[in-house]
Structure 1
Amino acid sequence: MRRFALFALLCALGAAPLLLTACTSRTVSDAVTIARSPSSTTVSQVLGRRAVDYAANPQVLERDLKAFATALQKLFERLEDRAEERWGKGEAELPGPKKYVKYLDNYQSRCIVDFEAGTVVVETVDQDRPMEALREAVVVTLLTPRDPRAVDLFTDSSVQLGAEPYLYGLVKDHEGEDIRWEWRAGRFADWLVQRRLQTRSVTRDGKALTVRSVRVDMVPGHLEARARQYLPLARKHAEAFGLDPTLVLAIMRVESDFNPFAVSHAGALGLMQVVPSTAGRDVYQFLNGRPGHPSGDELFDPDFNIRYGSAYLHLVKNRYLPAADPISREYCAIAAYNGGPGSVQRVFAADRAEALRRIDAMPPDAVYDHLTERHPASETRRYLWKVVMARREFRAI
């Protein structure tokens, strides 16, 4: 198992290295078992044993979910500290739902991909071998594989290259060609360093340092290209859970802009930003018939993530707030995906049955207006509008 996959799984088991002192002996034992034999069989055996623990004692599940959230926050804090040690106070860049950030070379080089803006920036603060370090970072950036489980976002560990890059088809070189192999990535990196080099200054410990960077814009239509990449999975899971594929794509668009490396401080992971402790737990129970939660490693698998996100949409649409009108039901489901079904219900009435009665008494447009005007969370009000608008982008796909 690759490094990030193992670490994400340990987080999901509540056994992140930063938290080992607070874990039970069983958790530590599980972590050691996986570390000694990091095979899929070993992982399955450990997770199976944890599922038994959860069924027998739900408090174990609650503890592990809290440990995961705490561990993830610690990872963000540690990454920020290490970045600022190299780049200076306030100069850290951190990964997010729509931004991929990967540090390399003892945190002296980094790649920043803004999926919303469609830009790729590679920069280095290395003062000893800046051009060489920048070139190396560009090559790694262009060839990083599309499987997020091959990349450790929270350390400066190297990236195992070889599989098809996630930027393949999204970035063209100076000759207008796609970049698949190292020889072409290296040639483009040389061209960028020679022709597109930019510099700026940062201050670290009172000393001015030169940052050298290059920027590449994604191709026109990069959003649609990314959407098409995940369209087969969206169709598969939408059909399985009785959804419109454009709704699944729209949720991905708003949640992550189709960033397969998406991660948030709130603990949401992957393309559809599934939170293990809420949506993840509900879907796990729904799909498996027993208490549990998905691991971080699983949620970074696009197929698994879209399955869980689609299943949660199914739950909020058909179980939690099953309005009679399908359009009204969909509006409620979209808002609930962001703000939770309880908050959506309370917009209409404190009692669930009364809330459903009031929803059913309204035309769909009135339900939409009610949610976008009266939901207490401005984020959820905007979220519903964004998803409805995003669906229009994918009608022709």
Structure 2
Amino acid sequence: MLRNRVLKKAVIASMLLSAPSVAQQSKFDAYKEKHKERYERFANDYSQRYEAFKEKLIEKWGVAELSSTTEYVAYSNDNNIKVIADFEKDTIEVSIRDDEFDTLDEQEKNDQVKAALESTLKLSASEAKEVNPEFVILDGNSAKKAHIPTLKNNKSAAPTLLNALGIKSDADLAKSIVAAKAIPVEKQAALVTQRTKARLEKQIKEVEQFASREDVPKQTKEQATKTVATLTTQLNEVSEAKVDATAKNTRSYKIQLQRARYEKAAEFLNAVSQQASRWQVAEDTLLAVMETESHFNPLAKSHIPAYGLMQIVPATAGADVNKQVFSSDKKPTPEELYDSERNIEYGSAYFNILMTRYLKEVENPTSRLYCAIAAYNTGIGNLSKAFNNGKHGRMAAIEKINQMTPEQVMQVIKSKTHTETQRYLDKVLGSKAYFSQHI
């Protein structure tokens, strides 16, 4: 009895010694509160600056056309010039707001279009990100900078966005400008309204589908719900009348780029080849995922948020790669993921994780590929539920997959996953078949 009382006192004493004092706990709580307040101030400042930027665009153009997974949108410093590079449709649109534009001769108009393209697209992806307010706002590290550099004197040896669009020289640029087609003013408002609504509707579907994933952290899901509400409000506010009111002194030109489909991947073939070999993923598979995710737009971004060529989500795929491959508990930053080679590394590594870890027990290689492609889009949890009648359980799902033919596996994915995932699988497989014949 005496011995037990002594041991009990010793344990209690040890607990008291190891526990933080009231003063220490108070300091720790104060530190946490200060850190929380600092984060909230930054988040509020970030939100306010982003909203202010959009309001300026709405005031000038009627709607705020912003970058997406397949489009890079840039404005001049005074917002009087808008350039939209559409990597999916392979077009460049230049809109210039200038009361005196119609008084210029043809060469002077071409010179203005050339200047607009050079100031916004004759930059590397990293340079463009640094000077585009939309990306400076979205990047926490860059957002702290007091000064945003102008678009001038930002030339480097790195491939430019014009290069990524297949325009390799001044002669190519001049040829493209001469071939540009003027967009009738009376049609422009309807075109802008239609594509803005389509862009927002697509973004809403993407975020809703992402929020349904099993592997998405709770905090990220909550943010996704808020994002859907914001995008829905923006969609409801898009009005052709608002756009039309700003179009009277605007002249727009569209350049249709004449590239073969495989040429869009040209800038990234070396990086894809290296990472395909390193992570044992077929080159045509990586190119197919890349084309489906971004159509080779190096500054692709979504409201999920996902970044770069292979649309890496820091909280899911990015965190998984860092933990399982690079032994790090940190999430990759947007800065890292906008580096094209780094992005391809993350996307390749994540596809390898899907194939060799989460789906390694799937016996048929074709079935495993189908499942990996679907999981890249919807997550391994949602994929498992599709084979488990809505229930959790990776191994239970794999047992059922191993009793099926690849065609039956395909049929389950095409009937029991999210609609976006069904379309995603079709797109990737179609793209894979194309690139297998052209690379």
1:373 Cα deviation from its structure 2 partner: 1.4
Structure that is richer in helix per residue: 2
User: Which of the numbers 245, 262, 280 marks the counterpart of 1:224?
Assistant: 262
Aligned to 2:169: 179
- Greater shift, 197-206 or 231-240, is seen at 197-206
Rounded to whole Å, the distance in 1 between the matches of 2:382 and 2:270 is 32
Q: CA deviation at 1:290?
A: 2.8
**1:241 and 2:279 equivalent?**
yes
Residues 301, 118 of structure 1: alpha-carbon distance in 2 compared, 3 angstrom cutoff: same
Pair 1:152-2:126 in alignment: no
**Which protein is bigger by CA-based radius of gyration?**
2
Once residues 153 and 326 of structure 1 are traced to their aligned partners in structure 2, the CA distance between those partners, rounded to angstroms, is 45
**Percent same amino acid among aligned pairs?**
30
Aligned to 1:104: 76
Q: Does 1:373 align with 2:415?
A: yes
Do the aligned partners of 2:61 and 2:247 also contact (CA within 8 Å) in 1?
no
Question: What pairs up with 1:156-305 in 2 under 5 angstroms?
Answer: 158-159=150-151, 160-163=154-157, 164-168=159-163, 170-171=165-166, 178-180=168-170, 191=178, 196-200=181-185, 203=242, 209-221=248-260, 223-305=261-343
Q: Is the 1:271–1:306 contact (alpha carbons within 8 Å) kept by the matching residues of 2?
A: yes
Q: How far apart, CA to CA, are the structure 2 residues paired with 1:250 and 1:120?
A: 23
Map Cα deviations across residues 192-251 of structure 1 (whole Å, 9 max, x no partner). Answer: 7xx844452665796763211222111231x31121321221121122112111111100
Query: Separation in 2 of the partners of 1:103 and 1:23?
Result: 39
Normalised TM-score (structure 2): 0.66
Normalising by structure 1, what TM-score? 0.72
**Which residue, 342, 348, 353 being the options, matches 2:381?**
342
Letter in 1 for 2:169: I
Q: Which runs of 5+ in 1 are unaligned?
A: 1-21, 29-62, 173-177
State the distance in 1 between where 2:428 and 2:250 align: 38
Query: Alignment partner of 2:185: what SS?
Result: strand
Distance 1:373 1:114, change over 3 A: same
What one-letter code is carried by the residue in structure 2 that aligns with 1:200? V
User: Residues 204 and 354 of structure 1: is their aligned pair in 2 closer, same or farther, counting only changes over 3 Å?
Assistant: closer
2:372 corresponds in structure 1 to 333
Q: CA 1:121–1:366 in 2, change beyond 3 Å: closer, same or farther?
A: same
Q: Structure 2 vs 1, CA of residues 371 and 253 (structure 1 numbering), >3 Å: closer, same or farther?
A: same
The aligned amino acid for 1:118 is D
Asked if structure 2 preserves the Cα contact closer than 8 Å seen for 1:110 and 1:123, the reply is: yes
Structure 1 Cα separation of the partners of residues 272 and 97 of structure 2: 40
How big is the shift at 1:151? Answer: 4.6
Query: CA RMSD for the aligned pairs?
Result: 3.3
Residue 23 of structure 1, CA deviation: 9.4
Q: Is the 8 A contact 1:104 1:158 kept in 2?
A: no
TM-fit CA distance, 1:146: 4.6
Q: Deviations over 1:323-354 (max 9, x none)?
A: 11111111111101000110001111232221
Number of equivalent positions: 325
CA spacing shift, 1:78–1:389, aligned 2, 3 Å: farther
Mapping 1:356-371, distance limit 5 Å: 356-371=398-413
